[in-house]
Amino acid sequence: MKIIIIAWRNLWRKPWRTVITAGSIFFGVLLSTFMTSMQYGSYEAMINNVVKFYSGYMQIFTEEYHENKTINNTFIFSDSLKQIVDNESTITHYTERLEYFSLVSSENLTKGSVIIGIDPDSENKVTELKKWVSKGQYLKSDEDGVLVAVDLANYLKVGVGDSLILYGQGYHGVMAAGIYPIKGILEFPSPELNKQFIYMPLKTTQELFSAYDRITSLVIMIEDNYQLSRAMRNLKKEINSPFMVRSWEELQPELVQMIDGDKAGGLFMKTLLYIIITFGILGTILMMVSERKRELGVMIAIGMQRFTLSKILIAETFFIGLIGITAGLIFSVPMTYYYYLNPIPLVGDTAKTMIEMGIEPFMYFSIQPDIYYIQALVVMIITMLIAIYPFIKSFTLKLTTALKA
Amino acid sequence: MNVIEIKDLTKIYNTSEVKVKAVNGISIDFKEGEFTAVVGPSGSGKTTFLNMLGGLDKPTSGDVIIGGQNIWQLNSRKIIDFRMNNIGFVFQSYNLIPVLTAGENVEFIMQLQGKPKKEREKRTRELLEAVGIGDRIKSRPSKLSGGQQQRVAVARALASRPKFILADEPTANLDSSSTSSLLELMSQMNKKYNTTFIFATHDQRVMDKARRIITIEDGKILSDEHFDRK
């Protein structure tokens, strides 16, 4: 039918007006996708940082350990549990940990610290721990030895090759004591972490605390955060009491809160942008309808049904939206992809703060498909909501008045 | 044979202060093939009369019966379909669809009627040739003179094979040579297709061509004269 042709040609009766209106949509889509890509990129970096740094995307532990984090609430990573984890396709890596507290001494200095027993190879796959070794060497699973966080090492006045005495309480109240050589010094970006951590091979830690074959948690990695809900859903189906599975979101609620707060700010900015776009399109559509009243009246007079006329006007509005959105996406996709591959380096205080938070000082971008289609969809919904005006107008147009216009 | 029968047609406009009777109880018939001018001073009610006749403006009371159908008993959708199939319009300002070519403007109404493409194209060519602008079939209205645009409007009005054509001041925007050639054309079409033409006009040249002149004043028919003109 001629509807599409008429609608399309009508757009180009005043090309500049169409270009300007589509242009406002173009810039709206471009800005909103750029902004969202940057927002999501920074969240991904933060989440990545948190999960890769320590917590993993998910952890499995016992319900008792969740309530009371003592070494008595540890568990044995059984074959049946291993099978569940191995069968879950979203999981890329996992590592066992035995975490507890102990006193650490060197000569006449003593301090409380967090002892983390790890399998050096699988831990490195999950958290890339090796990259924080600033002096000495990374652990080997068949060796006795520890990695000490830098500030703790400084406090205890020890270095690589020195020994540390660990003593405290082990599994079911047995005495835990041992002397271990320092294999390496860890230097984390966060000063808080540098004050308290000691990493040891898992077997050595289990022996120290007499918690043979026992672990406090299984730390799990998946491809990315977008797989999290599926992985959680699948694991929760399989893992029953006395075990439980928790996501990083449950383990780090303060980060979720921070992201939610930032999202709200971003949403406010995008809403402002959408309001500007809305008025831009609305202005054009009002003009397009009001200056063509007589023409619309003639169409009805010669026999066009009002519903058909409304389809022409809706098609015109749709085309404007489509041109703007398509142009916006054509520019925003490669632009955000470029910055995804080449994050913008940050300098000055912002960079310093980020480093202190353990985040690399870059402005990251995301290229998740929903960034693009959600913006496109929102703008198209706005456009089609505006199309309600010409739709109503085509049904309420008074013929005799329109023909005199 | 009567094409249109009008019975006691009245239109009252309710303004804020007074009720204005634009058309005041007109009863009249139009026969097939008539070439009629409805004349009268400005504000006499001739355009309102034509609008009610053409199904564009609802009368306050009275009947407009076209081919046995009282058009104001139809619902709004059916009345549009009725206009499309039975009435052709020629407006003072041509009112062609600016984004369509001359050919597309003529073809458009047949497309609304659901006529097959071949038939549409054939009739479009025939009509544009009949009105003398067959060579401008691909021109948009903005590239045509006023006279040419009004010829396209006449071709468009004839395209749906209507029972009659209503022309409201069709010559008002034309120079004298365009006016006389347009009148000649409409007269030819009237004879060729036996289509009834009803004009609302002030133009003496239109009156000189008309074979029937109805004079309206204050919403009432003052006179109804028939002339034997070739």
pLDDT at residue A47 tops 90: no
Range name among A72-86, A348-362, B61-75 with the lowest pLDDT average: A348-362
Residues of chain B contacting residue A288, judged by C-beta atoms under 8 Å apart? none
Phi first, then psi, for residue A179 (nearest 5°) are -120, 130
Residue B188 pLDDT grade (very low, low, confident, very high; cuts 50, 70, 90):
confident
CA distance B97 to chain A (A): 7
Output the pTM of the full model: 0.77
Nearest Cα to A362, choosing from A349, A348, A343? Answer: A343
Say if the Cβ atoms of B113 and A399 lie within 8 Å. no
How far apart CA B215 and CA B193 sit, in angstroms, is 26
> Count of CB atoms within 10 A of residue A178's CB?
18
Average pLDDT, chain B: 89
Tokens coding A311: 């389809």
For residue B203, the one-letter residue type is: D
Does residue A97 share a domain with residue A20? no
Long-range contacts of B85-88 (CB under 8 A, 24+ apart): B85/A303, B85/B113, B85/B160, B85/B162, B86/B162, B86/B163, B86/B164, B87/B54, B87/B55, B87/B162, B87/B163, B87/B164, B87/B165, B87/B166, B88/B156, B88/B157, B88/B158, B88/B159, B88/B160, B88/B162, B88/B164, B88/B165, B88/B166, B88/B195
The answer to the question of residue A240 being in a domain is no
The answer to the question of residue A199 being in a domain is yes
How far apart CA A299 and CA A84 sit, in angstroms, is 68
How far apart CA A209 and CA A212 sit, in angstroms, is 8
Does residue A275 share a domain with residue A378? yes
Say if the Cβ atoms of B98 and A13 lie within 8 Å. yes
Q: Is A192 on the interface with B (CB under 8 A)?
A: no
Q: Is A15 on the interface with B (CB under 8 A)?
A: no
Does residue A261 share a domain with residue A398? yes
The pLDDT assigned to B38 comes to: 94
**Do B33 and B188 contact (CB within 8 A), yes or no?**
no
CA distance B130 to chain A (A): 21
Interface test with A, best of B75, B87, B99 (most A CBs within 10 A): B99
The pLDDT assigned to A198 comes to: 94
pLDDT at residue A239 tops 90: no
Phi first, then psi, for residue B155 (nearest 5°) are -60, -40
**Portion of chain A with pLDDT greater than 70, in percent:** 99
Average pLDDT, chain A: 90
Residues of chain A contacting residue B89, judged by C-beta atoms under 8 Å apart? 298, 301-302
Provide mean pLDDT across the span A97-123: 92
Say if the Cβ atoms of B81 and A2 lie within 8 Å. no
The pLDDT assigned to A185 comes to: 95
The answer to the question of residue A131 being in a domain is yes
In chain B, which among 105-124 make CB contacts under 8 A with chain A?
108-109, 111-113
How far apart CA A120 and CA B108 sit, in angstroms, is 78
The pLDDT assigned to A403 comes to: 84
Does residue A285 share a domain with residue A150? no
DSSP assignment of B79-140: HHHHHHHHEEEE-TT----TTS-HHHHHHHHHHHHT--HHHHHHHHHHHHHHTT-GGGTT--
Tokens coding A14: 């005043």
Residues of chain B contacting residue A399, judged by C-beta atoms under 8 Å apart? 51, 56-57
Question: What's the pLDDT tens digit per position in A258-270?
Answer: 889 988 988 898 8
Helices (H) and strands (E) in chain A, counts: 17, 14
pLDDT at residue A380 tops 90: yes
The pLDDT assigned to A45 comes to: 84
The answer to the question of residue A57 being in a domain is no
Residue B132 pLDDT grade (very low, low, confident, very high; cuts 50, 70, 90):
confident
Provide mean pLDDT across the span A321-340: 95
Residue A187 half-sphere exposure, CB side, CA atoms within 13 Å?
Answer: 7
Helix (H) or strand (E) holding B12: strand B2-14
CA distance B57 to chain A (A): 6
Does residue A268 share a domain with residue A207? no
- Number of domains forming the structure of chain A: 2
Range name among A39-53, B29-43, B135-149 with the lowest pLDDT average: A39-53
The pLDDT assigned to B122 comes to: 94
**Do A289 and A390 contact (CB within 8 A), yes or no?**
yes
Nearest CA in chain A to B52: A400
Question: What's the pLDDT tens digit per position in B48-103?
Answer: 999 999 999 999 999 999 988 899 999 989 999 999 999 999 988 888 988 889 99
Q: Is B63 on the interface with A (CB under 8 A)?
A: no
Q: Is B78 on the interface with A (CB under 8 A)?
A: no
Answer with the one of A215, A238, A264 that is the final residue of a domain: A215
Answer with the one of A184, A199, A215 that is the final residue of a domain: A215
The pLDDT assigned to A98 comes to: 93
The CATH number of whichever domain residue A140 belongs to comes to: 2.40.70
Q: Which domains does chain B have, with CATH numbers?
A: 2-226 (3.40.50.300)
Question: What's the pLDDT tens digit per position in A276-301?
Answer: 889 988 988 898 888 889 889 999 99
ipTM, 2 dp: 0.89
The answer to the question of residue A135 being in a domain is yes
Beta-strand runs (E) in A310-372: 344-345, 362-363
In sequence order, the β-bridge partners of residue B212 are B36, B226
Residue B35 pLDDT grade (very low, low, confident, very high; cuts 50, 70, 90):
very high
Provide mean pLDDT across the span B127-134: 87
Q: Which domain holds residue A199?
A: 93-215
The answer to the question of residue A222 being in a domain is no
**Do A160 and A185 contact (CB within 8 A), yes or no?**
yes
The pLDDT assigned to B230 comes to: 64
Sign of the C-alpha dihedral computed for residues A172, A176, A182 and A183 taken in this order: negative
Provide mean pLDDT across the span A54-72: 89
Q: Is B95 on the interface with A (CB under 8 A)?
A: yes
Nearest CA in chain B to A306: B77
Does residue A398 share a domain with residue A267? yes
pLDDT at residue A1 tops 60: no
The answer to the question of residue A200 being in a domain is yes
CA distance A300 to chain B (A): 7
The pLDDT assigned to A358 comes to: 66
The answer to the question of residue A299 being in a domain is yes
CA distance A25 to chain B (A): 25
10 Å CB burial of residue B192 (0-12, 13-18, 19+) is: exposed
pLDDT at residue B229 tops 80: no
The pLDDT assigned to B189 comes to: 82
Does residue A185 share a domain with residue A104? yes
